[in-house]
Amino acid sequence: MQVQIHSLSWPDSDVRMENAQDLVFQHFGLPLQRHKLKMRHGLWMDEVLRQSKVDVVGFVDNDCIPLNSDIVRYTATYAGQHKTFFGIAQASNHIGTKSHIFAAPAFFFIYRQCWFDLGCPTFAETARSDVAEEVSYVAEEKGLRYRAFYPTHFEAEPVEGVWRLSNYGFFGIGTVFADSIYHLYQGRFKHNVDRFVKCSEQVVNGTFSTSGMFESRLHYNGRIAP
C-alpha cells in the first residue's frame, strides 16, 4: 500500500511553524511533502487527491504533529484496509447545527478511491460545512463509515480558545487527540506559534507531557467549561 503525507503552508506563514513540524516528522522518519502556495485549504486538498496516484493520501496541517510514529502508520493502514477515511474529531461552532462532529482536515488520511466513490465531494467550505466537513456529511448520507480521533487534553489562552465538541466535551487552542496527535488552533497569534515550537521540541526531546492541560471531557480551569 502506497501512502503520501501532504502539508500546506502559505508563503507568508511563520516559517517557525514549518521548521518545527519538519523537525518532528524527520525525528520519526516520516516523509512529508510540503506545498508552499496561497490556496484555499479545501480546494488544495481536492487538487492533491485528483493528482495523486497512491492508495492512501494523508493531510497534516502545518500546525499539527504526531506525538509518536505509530499513530501515523495506524491511521493510514486503517484507512487503506477499510477503504474509508480517518481524521480528528471537530465540530463547527460557527455554522450549521453546531453539533455535527466530523473528521477534520488537520490530521486526515483517506483511501483515495473512497473519495471518488463518494462522488468527489469538495473539501472546501459550503453553506453547511467547514473545511473537510462536507466529505463527512456525504459519507454519512451514503452510509460509509469513517472514524475520528477524539480529544483527550487541551490548552487554553485568554484571547480565545475553548470550543465545544458537541456533547462530548471541549477542545482548545492546543489540543491533544487520542494522546497521540497535537494540533494548534489560531496559529496567527505569535504566542501560539511559540507554544507550537515548544511542543515540537518537547516531542523530539521526549519530554512532552499533558500534565497541566485540561481534560477534554471533564472541566476547564477548576470549573465546568463554558
| CATH number of the domain residue 78 falls in | 3.90.550
Residue 102 lies in a domain: yes
Residue 69 lies in a domain: yes
Sheet-wide strand order for 151-155: 64-66, 181-184, 174-177, 151-155, 214-215
**Segment 151-166 mean pLDDT:** 84
**Using CA atoms in the order 73, 99, 92, 139, what is the torsion angle rounded to 10 degrees?**
50
What number of residues does the chain have? 226
Judged by average pLDDT, the poorest of 7-16, 19-28, 103-112, 115-124 is 7-16
Residue 63 lies in a domain: yes
Residue 223 lies in a domain: no
Average pLDDT, the chain: 93
**128, 96 contact by CB (below 8 A):** yes
What pLDDT is recorded for position 218? Answer: 81
For 10, the domain range is 3-215
What pLDDT is recorded for position 93? Answer: 74
Residue 224 lies in a domain: no
Q: Is the pLDDT of residue 96 over 80?
A: no
What pLDDT is recorded for position 177? Answer: 98
What pLDDT is recorded for position 42? Answer: 96
Compute the distance between CA of residue 143 and CA of residue 125 in angstroms, rounded to an integer.
22
Q: Is the pLDDT of residue 90 over 90?
A: yes
Q: What is the number of structural domains in the chain?
A: 1
**Segment 154-179 mean pLDDT:** 88
Residue 221 lies in a domain: no
Compute the distance between CA of residue 114 and CA of residue 19 in angstroms, rounded to an integer.
32
Residue 220 lies in a domain: no
pLDDT digits (tens, 9 = 90+) for 183-217: 998 777 777 899 999 999 999 999 999 998 999 99
What pLDDT is recorded for position 97? Answer: 67
More confident residue, 95 or 205: 205
Q: Is the pLDDT of residue 47 over 80?
A: yes
Report the share of the chain in percent with pLDDT over 90.
82
The whole-model pTM stands at 0.94
**Segment 134-155 mean pLDDT:** 97
Residue 226 lies in a domain: no
Q: Is the pLDDT of residue 224 over 60?
A: no
- Nearest residue to 93 (alpha-carbon basis) of 130, 127, 135, 139: 130
What pLDDT is recorded for position 222? Answer: 54
- What SS3 string covers the chain? CCEEEEEEECCCCCHHHHHHHHHHHHHCCCCCEEEECCCCHHHHHHHHHHHCCCCEEEEECCCEEECCCHHHHHHHHHHHHHCCEEEEEEECCCCCCCCCEEEEEEEEEEEHHHHHHCCCCCCCCCCCCCCCHHHHHHHHHHCCCCEEECEEEEECCCCCCEEEECCCEEEECEEEECCCEEEECCCCCHHHHHHHHHHHHHHHHCCCCCCCCEECCCCECCECCC
